Amino acid sequence: MSTEKSIWKKALDWHEERLPIISWIDHSLGTKYPVPRNLNYWWNFGSLAMFMLAVMIFSGIFLAMNYTPHVTLAFDSVEHIMRDVNYGWLIRYMHANGASFFFMVVYIHILRGMYYGSYKAPREVLWWIGLLIYLAMMATAFLGYVLPWGQMSFWGATVITSFFSAIPGIGDSIVTLLWGGFSVDNPTLNRFFSLHYLLPFVIVGLIFLHIWALHVPGANNPLGIDATPADKIPFFPYYVMKDVFGLAVFVVIYFTAVFWFPNALGEAVNYVKANPLQTPEHIVPEWYYLPFYAILRSIPNKLLGIIAMFGAILILFALPWLDTSRVRSGNFRPVFRIFFVVWVIDVLILGWVGAQPPEGIIPTIGLIGTLWYFGHFAVIMPVLGWVETPKPLPASISQSVLKAAE
Amino acid sequence: MANTAHAHAADPAGETRRDFLLHTTIAMGAVGGAMMVWPLIHSMNPAADTLALSTTEFNISGVAEGQRISVMWRGSPVFVAHRTPAEIEAARKVQLSELRDPQTDEQRVTKGKDKYLIVSGICTHFGCIPQGVKVTEPRGEFGGWFCPCHGSQYDTSGRIRKGPAPRNLAVPPIKFLTDTTVLIG
Ligand code: HEM
Ligand code: FES
């Protein structure tokens, strides 16, 4: 019996010979994928991000079954989802809060990469694909936020599409093309729905590339040194279990927000139907865009403001070369650690500035914060690599553990 | 396969002919693909029925001196202001050199109808609707319009005076059909 293959194993082997999908999964995220043994909990956020993408796609598809992308019906159809559709409120709150949690997870994931130097050779392409995913997420969330057709939906859409009018010469034609008319209107809503449905699947494709690019060099680790085979353990069961544990904790927090604070991160004025004749008193984007919005507003010139705002993200693509230090992990870079924390605080301040009306001292704080943001990448990172003396690196992951035990 | 490789090496003339076919095929494919892209892009531009709605007519006699109204044109408001003599004077005594987007007040109104200012109600920064149509709304330091989004200020001729907006409020195509009927678009 023990040597004899069961019928199931035989069927599986038969199938694997024709389509080796199980082996493929086993190599990608199973027993054949070796991972450094010393990953900490900051490494949980990649799998959490994948989970959130799945939640967004599932909840979104069910929302789409009851949503109507037409200017006269969109707002009412969302209210219909909230009041009449069975569990519609749950599905919508999962989706609306899901976007916020997705961004929180991805922001932590990105900061993890920045602190532990995961963008450095040989992981530059992996870093780039991650940034493309982030850009696609920003576009998706913007398009989605327009769909309920509230006041903030409408005016957010107007302001953001008008960004393109800053392009000299052809800007206005591009905006008309984006709108399909002379203002944000029904054609705009229709195409935004179409693209909002499409982009998450583009993200799924990018995630395949992301994981592929991850598997070529393998995962980085908190020490930032290359892991020897002896310092690696299989992804399944070890990290699968750890990810599942992290997921359980995360889901508790996420659903606490969905059930008890579903509107904490939203804007009340988006429960007012879009009115093309009246701009709300105070326009604010969703929290995850605020630092970039602050950068945009802090520069008193339309074109330069736009360039700075997009530049704030594009500069991250150059980070592998702007950072001239060859030590990956911030644990061994005493000066970098401080500047890293200062930069995170700077981004938080910019986020706060973005939520304030641009009056009094606010634009000045925004300008200083913007200068620091760019200075961090363009000046501090290159110079630090030359002047900083890193702490000695351990010879291997196990050596660092044995040393600590002594 | 080995045969073809052999033929390549032995017959350079054949190789050029093959390359020629390959390159023309790629070129034709690229042209065909590019020709398909334009209809897709252009389908996103305003449709014929959207364009057909692009004029508006209204009666201006109901707008009293000092009053401002907005009229819908192409889905967005157009500001119509019946200006007081003081407002007109304020607009006209400004030096062109003080303006970000230099234009005289005369260039922005219809001759003989100087008291009426008709300008697009779309902030030239990022498209919000400036406040100032109602007397209760803020009108900014220059007595015209104030955009709540990022603080652009326009004067009584709708010209940009302060804040991030680059251009004056646009003057739409206007025609006085009669003394009191105005056609926009
Ligand atoms: C990357 C994944 C996604 C993100 C970040 C995202 C984000 C958003 C956001 C921020 C909203 C506005 C929520 C609100 O305030 O009401 C929204 C609405 C919506 N989304 Fe998504 N979404 C994603 C995927 C999808 C998918 C795959 C679909 C499938 C069709 C979808 C369908 C909808 C619908 C129908 C609405 C309008 C209903 C509503 O406003 O609640 N979404 N989305
Ligand atoms: S849209 Fe009016 S100031 Fe920005």
Please give the ipTM for the structure prediction: 0.80
Specify the pLDDT at position A157: 95
Give the distance (Å) from ligand 2 centre to CA of residue A366. 17
Q: What is the pLDDT of residues B44-87, one digit of tens each?
A: 999 998 888 778 899 999 899 999 999 999 888 999 999 999 99
Do B90 and B168 reside in the same domain of the chain? yes
Point out the domain boundary residue: A283, A305, A328: A283
In this structure, the answer to whether residues A330 and A355 fall within a common structural domain is yes
Residue A194 contacts residue A365 (beta carbons within 8 Å)? no
Percent residues over pLDDT 70 in chain A: 98
Of A283, A307, A335, the one marking the end of a domain is A283
Looking at residue A104, which CATH number applies to its domain?
1.20.810.10
Query: Do residues A258 and A304 share a domain?
Result: no
The total domain count for chain B is 2
Single residue among A250, A266, A283 that ends a domain in this structure = A283
* B21, B68: one domain: no
Measured between CA atoms, the residue of chain B closest to residue A164 is B126
Q: Look at residues B156, B78, B147, B164 and name the one whose alpha carbon lies nearest to residue A279.
A: B147
CB A114 within 8 A of CB A340: yes
B176 and B136 within one domain = yes
- For residue A3, the model assigns a pLDDT of 67
Q: Taking 80 as the threshold, does the pLDDT of residue A202 lie above it?
A: yes
Query: For residue B119, which of B170, B45, B164 has the smallest C-alpha distance?
Result: B170
Which residue range forms the structural domain that includes residue B19? 15-45
Q: Is residue B96 part of a domain?
A: yes
Answer whether residue B4 is part of any domain: no
d(CA A169, CA A172): 8
Note the pLDDT of residue A360: 84
How many Cβ atoms are within 10 Å of B101's Cβ, its own excluded?
13
For the domain that residue B64 is a member of, what is the CATH number? 2.102.10.10
**Tens digit of each residue's pLDDT (9 = 90 or more) over A100-144:** 999 999 999 999 999 999 999 999 999 999 999 999 999 999 999
Question: Which chain B residues in 118-177 lie under 8 Å from chain A, judged by CB atoms?
Answer: 122, 125-129, 131, 147-151, 163-166
The count of structural domains within chain A is 2
pLDDT at B2 exceeding the cut of 50: no
Do the chains contact at A180 and B149, CB–CB below 8 Å?
Answer: no
- DSSP structure class, residue B73: E
Residues B149, B112: one domain? yes
Judge: A276–B164 Cβ closer than 8 Å, yes or no: no
In a domain, residue A16? The reply is: no
The answer to whether position B31 is within a domain reads yes
Cβ(A219)–Cβ(A39) below 8 Å: yes
The pLDDT value recorded for residue A358 is 78
**Quick check: is B1 in a domain?**
no
Active site residue B6: no
* B151 shares its domain with B68: yes
| % of chain B residues with pLDDT over 70 | 92
C-alpha distances out from residue A362 to A348, A356, A385, A401, Å: 14, 7, 33, 48
**Domain coverage including residue A377:** 284-406
Cross-chain residue pair B127–A158, CB shorter than 8 Å:
yes
Distance CA A381, CA A324 (A): 7
**B29 lies in the same domain as B64:** no
Asked whether residue A1 is assigned to any structural domain, the reply reads: no
Contact A108, A42 (CB under 8 A): yes
